[in-house]
């Protein structure tokens, strides 16, 4: 993927926690953001390990359907090209917002009839 430059603001990553260990993967991302390890498995790990980024919240939408790409297509923000989508044909799964994105994310989830839970992350 190479080196990327990021603007200050908010970044939203759309990922899937489906399958075995899905929610454990979300918990791992939260732990990784607090204390990065040596192993970077996913694109998001590179951001979580960078000191300029801080994890603010995780939005979870329980579903049995594959919604990751559909949700990514509904994000009304600038895509970080090819980030987090090496296993699909999406333009990106990471999006830049110049304003707090919570309402935009909730609106996109609502369009897909996804009930969501927002978990605010306290970094200490």
The number of residues in the chain equals 124
Q: Which residues contact 113 (CB under 8 A, 6 or more apart)?
A: none
Phi-psi region of 68 (alpha: psi -120 to 50; beta: other; left: phi over 0): alpha
Q: Kindly state whether residue 49 falls inside one of the protein's structural domains.
A: yes
Q: Kindly state whether residue 98 falls inside one of the protein's structural domains.
A: yes
Q: Kindly state whether residue 64 falls inside one of the protein's structural domains.
A: yes
Into how many domains does the chain fold?
1
Q: Kindly state whether residue 72 falls inside one of the protein's structural domains.
A: yes
- What pLDDT digit, counting tens, does each position of 3-52 carry? 778 888 999 989 887 766 777 777 777 777 777 777 777 778 888 888 88
Q: Kindly state whether residue 76 falls inside one of the protein's structural domains.
A: yes
Q: Which residues contact 77 (CB under 8 A, 6 or more apart)?
A: 12, 95, 96, 97, 101, 104
Q: The pTM is what?
A: 0.83
Q: Kindly state whether residue 2 falls inside one of the protein's structural domains.
A: no
Report pLDDT for 1.
59
Q: Kindly state whether residue 33 falls inside one of the protein's structural domains.
A: yes
Q: Are strands 117-120 and 10-13 parallel, antiparallel or unpaired?
A: unpaired
Q: Kindly state whether residue 5 falls inside one of the protein's structural domains.
A: no
């Amino acid at each position: 993927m190479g080196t990327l430059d990021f603007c200050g603001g908010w970044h939203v990553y759309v990922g899937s926690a489906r399958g075995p260990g899905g929610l454990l993967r979300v918990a791992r991302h939260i732990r990784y953001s607090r204390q990065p390890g040596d192993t970077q498995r996913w694109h998001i790990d590179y951001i979580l390990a960078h000191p300029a980024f801080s994890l603010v919240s995780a939005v979870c939408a329980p579903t049995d359907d594959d919604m990751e790409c559909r949700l990514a297509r509904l994000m009304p923000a600038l895509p970080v090209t090819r980030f987090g989508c090496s296993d699909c044909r999406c333009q990106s799964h990471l999006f830049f917002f110049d304003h707090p994105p919570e309402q935009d994310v909730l609106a996109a989830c609502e369009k897909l009839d996804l009930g969501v839970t927002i978990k605010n992350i306290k970094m200490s």
